[in-house]
Structure 1
Amino acid sequence: MPLDWADVVKRYENGAELPSMPGARTLKVTGADDDYIYVSHRLWTDKLTRAHLEKAVRLLEEGRMTRNYGDVIDHYRTYIADERPTTAATVLKDLGFLE
């Protein structure tokens, strides 16, 4: 199932709180638009790039990247981008692409 960005924007445009890795604080999504998902933590704010998330979903669909939440972080950093890989994994899990 490819990433439907219109659904992503609808899901996150008004923000959301997502459970993160065990032992980590809750991730706050503050919004989404045509190019990014905006996120914040108590110490930082940042954004996840649409193209990177779409590439991750494509690799997941092709079986070229693990669907295991705990292991996908290194794969994301290696095959996609070193752009908040733990945060990206949390969003991908919330969207139903990771176990």
Structure 2
Amino acid sequence: MTLDWDNVLEKYRDGAEIDSLPGAATLSVSGADEEKIYVKHRLWKDSLSRTNLERAIEMVSAGTMTRIAADFIDQYRTIIADERPTTAATVLKDLGYLD
């Protein structure tokens, strides 16, 4: 399984509201381009890199990272990057890659 970036662009290019994980704050995607998904919260704005998300999905597919969103967060932070791991899990769950 690979991250379908065309689907990411179709879904998020013009922004979207995403259901948050339990305990997480409401999240909005403000857009997406060829390299990043742009996200915002009431207190901050940031982005998720395509490279890191693709690497995470490759590892999920290989079974070296979990598909369970709540457990994925710590693995993402430790193995991939300390790049908004809860946000990454929320987005990947919204896209159907995590449970």
User: Which range, TM-score by smaller chain?
Assistant: over 0.9
Partner secondary structure for residue 71 of structure 1: helix
Task: Show structure 2 runs of 5+ residues with no match.
Answer: none
Looking at structure 2, the residues matched to 22 and 95 of structure 1 have their Cα atoms a distance apart, in angstroms, of 17
Looking at structure 2, the residues matched to 13 and 21 of structure 1 have their Cα atoms a distance apart, in angstroms, of 22
Q: Is the 8 A contact 1:19 1:25 kept in 2?
A: no
Partner secondary structure for residue 60 of structure 2: helix
1:9-60: per-residue Cα shift (whole Å, max 9, x none)?
A: 1110010111112133221000000000000000000000000000000000
Looking at structure 1, the residues matched to 79 and 25 of structure 2 have their Cα atoms a distance apart, in angstroms, of 26
Sequence identity (%):
61
Task: Show structure 1 runs of 5+ residues with no match.
Answer: none
Are positions 1:65 and 2:65 aligned together?
yes
Cα RMSD for the two superposed structures: 0.8
- For 1:73, the aligned partner's letter is I
Looking at structure 2, the residues matched to 19 and 79 of structure 1 have their Cα atoms a distance apart, in angstroms, of 25
Looking at structure 1, the residues matched to 23 and 72 of structure 2 have their Cα atoms a distance apart, in angstroms, of 17
The structure that is helix-richer by fraction is: 2
TM-score, normalised to structure 1's length? 0.96
TM-score, normalised to structure 2's length? 0.96
Q: Which residue of 1 aligns with 2:84?
A: 84
Question: Shift of the alpha carbon at 1:8?
Answer: 0.6
Q: Which residue of 2 aligns with 1:25?
A: 25
Looking at structure 2, the residues matched to 5 and 74 of structure 1 have their Cα atoms a distance apart, in angstroms, of 24
Q: Count matched residues.
A: 99
Are positions 1:12 and 2:26 aligned together?
no
